[in-house]
Structure 1
Amino acid sequence: MMTSSHLTIDSENQKIKLAILGAPGVGKTAIVKQFVYNEFTEDYESTEKKQIFLPSVIINDHLYELKIIDCPYIPYFPVNSLYEWTDFRGFGLRNASAYILVYDITSEDSFQYIKSLREQILESRNMHDVPMFIVGNKHDLAEERGISRREVANLVKKQWKCGYIECSAKFNWHVVLLFKELMKTIDYIDYGHKPTAARVQDVLRRNRCVIL
């Protein structure tokens, strides 16, 4: 998998809208900036308005154009389009292709927040073929952990049926792995159920194959 700002994106390439949500201070922006720019700053600035990042990703020889929406704290997930238009205009939360819900492993409150948010998302929209990953950030502060990793992992993987990864944005630990696993899931949804011949024909039909 790779990211690059120099790839030429064809209009037929897959476009993925990825919403990153979480309580204030959990490190949402830090995770994205590590992935996109390979940088981290100790200076904390609360995300007051949405930020958009546009990396390109290659996974399993398929090129994806990501639109990562780094969202400020939202008190609730919009239950319908009217609420989204009124309170979160332009966020595109209800039609995201995938979600990353981030919590701080030293803060049980931040986990309870994404637990509630997840329930609201499930109640508010059709989540068929819409991956959701739960991310425990600040693994570098594991000694100050506020909630058991095993407890969270069991809940998320066995009951929620979501992907789960712990990472450290500060030390760039498991950040790439997070996006790699997410994109593998998306790629499987897009192509994994198709026989090889059908996949090749689909690529050719959509002009997504470049021969050098």
Structure 2
Amino acid sequence: MTSSHLTIDSDQQRIKLAVLGAPGVGKSSIIRQFVNQEFNAEYIPTERKHVYLPSVIINDHLYELKIIDCPYIPYFPVNSLYEWTDFRGYGLRNATAYILVYDITSEESFQYIKNIRDQILESRDMHDVPLFVVGNKHDLSDERGISRREVASMVKKHWKCGYIECSAKCNWHVVLLFKELMKTIDHIDYGHKPTSVRVQDALRRNRCVIL
């Protein structure tokens, strides 16, 4: 979706998003819904790293995203040596931002991202590194395993992180998730002060989403 009257920043920013979560929470489904507008009801475990390269426009700025769909990791690497040994090529320690996904019907999956979040904070400088917590499977809210109010209060007030619930199956709040995350990144990068050029000069490849 583009417009001949739309103008964007001439410097295309490259952003690396690491998506982490316990097995079966819907990490891959959220990404594929955002990038390809598709959902596969069959559960296929993520056994290796997958990379998606969409582009988005937010506040007249063009960003090229490198979304890393990570397999289950038992821990976050405390240093570059551990990352090289166990998670070579994942790029976990230099991600621009993190999306931590849990299944709202599984308290255990929330405990997993809580542990991973603690390890991330202990392992690297998180200044200007956004972290969003995502409760997936809102379509199964009747089977909720942990209250939304409890999670939202903890994440927003104590962790000082972004929080959103979504449903990859129903494509509910998936775009909103990436919009809110990119607004945060854009504010860090620009403080919402765009400089502009013609959009067609910058859009050369990949699917581009205007958020």
| Structures share fold, TM-score greater than 0.5 | yes
Give the distance between the partners of 1:189 and 1:66, measured in 2 at CA. Answer: 16
The Cα shift of 1:12 comes to: 3.9
Higher relative contact order (CA 8 A, sep 6+): 2
**C-alpha RMSD of matched pairs (Å):** 1.8
Q: Which residue of 1 aligns with 2:118?
A: 119
The Cα shift of 1:13 comes to: 1.0
Q: Which residue of 2 aligns with 1:29?
A: 28
Q: Which residue of 2 aligns with 1:144?
A: 143
Once the two structures are superposed, the pairs formed by residues 52-63 of structure 1 within 5 Å of their partners are 52-63=51-62
Pair 210,136 (structure 1): closer, same or farther in 2 beyond 3 Å: same
Give the distance between the partners of 1:211 and 1:168, measured in 2 at CA. Answer: 31
Pair 78,11 (structure 1): closer, same or farther in 2 beyond 3 Å: farther
Give the distance between the partners of 1:143 and 1:114, measured in 2 at CA. Answer: 22
Q: Which residue of 1 aligns with 2:88?
A: 89
Instruction: Name the SS of the counterpart of 2:151 in structure 1.
Output: helix
Deviating above 2 A after TM superposition, structure 1's stretches of 4 or more consecutive aligned residues are 209-212
Instruction: Name the SS of the counterpart of 1:65 in structure 2.
Output: strand
Give the distance between the partners of 1:20 and 1:39, measured in 2 at CA. Answer: 18
Unaligned segments of structure 1, at least 5 residues: 4-9, 204-208
Q: Which residue of 1 aligns with 2:198?
A: 210
Q: Which residue of 2 aligns with 1:102?
A: 101
Number of equivalent positions: 194
Is the contact made by 2:11 and 2:62 (CA closer than 8 Å) also made in structure 1?
A: no
**What fraction of aligned residue pairs are identical, expressed as a percent?**
78
TM-score by length of 2: 0.88
Pair 12,61 (structure 1): closer, same or farther in 2 beyond 3 Å: closer
Q: Which residue of 2 aligns with 1:173?
A: 172
Instruction: Name the SS of the counterpart of 1:111 in structure 2.
Output: helix
TM-score by length of 1: 0.88
Q: Structure 2: which amino acid aligns with 1:25?
A: G
Q: Structure 2: which amino acid aligns with 1:166?
A: E
Once the two structures are superposed, the pairs formed by residues 36-55 of structure 1 within 5 Å of their partners are 36-55=35-54
Instruction: Name the SS of the counterpart of 2:75 in structure 1.
Output: coil
Give the distance between the partners of 1:145 and 1:50, measured in 2 at CA. Answer: 29
Give the distance between the partners of 1:123 and 1:61, measured in 2 at CA. Answer: 35
Pair 191,12 (structure 1): closer, same or farther in 2 beyond 3 Å: closer
The Cα shift of 1:211 comes to: 7.2
The Cα shift of 1:11 comes to: 9.4
Unaligned segments of structure 2, at least 5 residues: 3-8, 201-211
Q: Which residue of 1 aligns with 2:12?
A: 13
